Chains A and B, each alone.
Chain A
Amino acid sequence: MARNTARPLSPHLTIWKWGPHMTVSILNRMMGVGLATVGVLALTLWLVALASGPEAYKDFMDLATGWFGYVVAVGLSFAFFLHLCAGLRHFVMDAGAGFELVTNRMWAWGSIIAPVLLTAGLWLFIFWGMI
């Protein structure tokens, strides 16, 4: 779309001091895109391999339980938990609550820290079960 360069632009991203609410916002979007691409591909390949028979499933699981598979799986679990926590934060803000500066900052940090703990907890539980 052509822009009239004689007109001023409204102040945008560059004038704001970066804060946790902006971090969780862009992380939420990035994790959503990651889940919709890498996550959907992994989930669909898993189902197709499962429906294709034991050989195809073994090939999939060999890849999934190698170092590459674990990196993707840990990444996807973190992406899910962050998208979950940031989404729950959105539900509160959609109701018009939690916009006070201190409250908003606290829940923004919470939405970043909680997924780290949840991811660590999930994988500790998985490996605990394997031992």
Chain B
Amino acid sequence: MGSGTGLGRVRGLGSAKSGSHHWWQQRVTAVGNILLVLWFIISMVRLPVADHAAMVAWLASPWAAVPMALLIINVFWHFRLGLQVVIEDYVHGGMRIFTLGLLHVWTFGMGAYALFSIFKIAFTGAPA
């Protein structure tokens, strides 16, 4: 049973039991973000040249394409959870429903473009 009062549970006002799951996923993806984004920053800074050919050659390697795809999934997962909390704190009523819908479109729309771009380079770019 949940942690709400007996009356709250009877009224269906108790915990929805998804709050701790949301919180925990935020922490797990946060740890992943530390590793993946630091890897990305260090990789970028260490690249000797930044022209198109050099970048494609770098991203076409499995050692860059896979962590980059993981970075997109992990970062997008983390920011979707975080922005949801921000929206739920500040936006109310019908606007909240609309904004949360917009958040889904933003997350999955941009995520699809980012992942497609990585895979396109990984599958058609120069071999590692």
**B105 interfacial contact with A, CB 8 Å:** no
Contact A44 B79, beta carbon cutoff 8 Å? no
| Chain A interface main SS type | helix
**B52 interfacial contact with A, CB 8 Å:** yes
Contact B83 A36, beta carbon cutoff 8 Å? yes
From B45, B59, B83, B113, contact of A129 by CB (8 A): B45
Q: Which residue of B lies closest to A50 (CB)?
A: B55
| Chain B interface main SS type | helix
- Please name all residues of chain A whose beta carbon is closer than 8 Å to the beta carbon of B76 when the two chains form the complex: 40
- Please name all residues of chain B whose beta carbon is closer than 8 Å to the beta carbon of A53 when the two chains form the complex: 52
How many chain-B residues does the 8 Å CB contact rule pick out?
28
Distance of A125 Cα from B42 Cα, bound (Å)? 11
Given the known interface contacts A44-B110, A47-B113, A48-B113, the answer about A125 and B45 at a Cβ–Cβ threshold of 8 Å is: yes
Chain A 10-54, CB-CB to B under 8 Å as 1, else 0, gives 000000000000000000010011011000110110011011011
* B interface, CB within 8 angstroms of A: 27, 30, 34, 37, 41, 45, 50, 52-53, 55-56, 59, 75-76, 79, 82-83, 86, 92, 106, 110, 113-114, 116-118, 120-121
